Amino acid sequence: MEDCRAVRDQAFVAKQVAIDDLDDAKLVRLLAYWAARRSGDELPRRQDLLPEEMGELLGRIALVDVDHVAQDFRFRLVGTQLRFVLGRDLTGQTFGSLLPAHFEALLRDYCSAAVTRRAPQCIDVVSKRDSQSFSYTALILPLSSGGEAVDVLMLAFNWLPSEVPLVDPLAHGPV
């Protein structure tokens, strides 16, 4: 599935990646780590995943609380590298605070799929602004405090070191 959304000079092209086709070595290791923490059909709990075992991705991870009543998502924790790329700390904010709105809708769609399916989701994204672009892969991993219902999502983002973003993935402008 490919999703292209654009507003004025900003564009996102997102392509869903089948989990079996994920080829980013760091995200593959994180996915294997998550899978190893499962107990049968039960999802891992947040406390089953230790920050010190997440290696280089730790600063590129966000934890997101799932609010089933309000049908919304709230950032519980945002890694330091993500804060740098975003140009701000989203901790405590809901997805509704994300700009541009088409990025918020895109992220909400993939996170909702992870919650509903109780399964990881993966997307390749290219963010373009003017003549510059920034590409990254996002892995969304569902977590559950009780093993069944998804109440937390772990979002891990990876980009090539050579692609230090000239524009942030949310297209707010230069960082």
| pLDDT category of residue 23 using cuts at 50, 70 and 90 | very high
Higher pLDDT, 174 or 112: 112
pLDDT per residue over 55-110, tens digit each?
Answer: 889 999 999 999 988 889 999 999 998 888 777 889 999 988 776 677 788 889 99
Residue 8, pLDDT > 80, answer no
User: 133 — phi, psi (to 5°)?
Assistant: -145, 160
3-state secondary structure of 161: helix
DSSP letter, residue 29 = H
Mean pLDDT of the 150-167 span = 77
Q: Which helix (DSSP H) or strand (DSSP E) does residue 142 occupy?
A: strand 132-143
Q: What is the DSSP letter of 40?
A: T
- Sole residue written with tokens 């990254």: 136
In the chain, where are the structural domains located? 2-163
Show the 3-state SS of 57-100: HHHHEEEEEEECCCCEEEEEEECHHHHHHHCCCCCCCEHHHCCC
In this prediction, residue 141 carries a pLDDT of: 97
Determine the pLDDT at residue 9: 47
CB 152 within 8 A of CB 145: yes
- Distance separating alpha carbons of residues 31 and 156, to the nearest angstrom: 10
43: closest CA among 149, 116, 160? 149
Residue with tokens 């107990």: 39
Can you name the residues that pair with 63 across neighbouring β-strands? Answer: 77, 154
pTM of the model: 0.85
pLDDT, tens digit (0-9, with 9 covering 90-100), for 101-143 = 777 888 899 999 999 999 999 999 887 766 777 788 999 999 9
Tokens of 122: 């993966």
CATH number of 2-163: 3.30.450.20
Which among 85, 121, 98, 82 has a CA at the least distance from the CA of 3? 121
Give the tens place of pLDDT for each residue, 27-43. Answer: 999 999 999 999 888 99
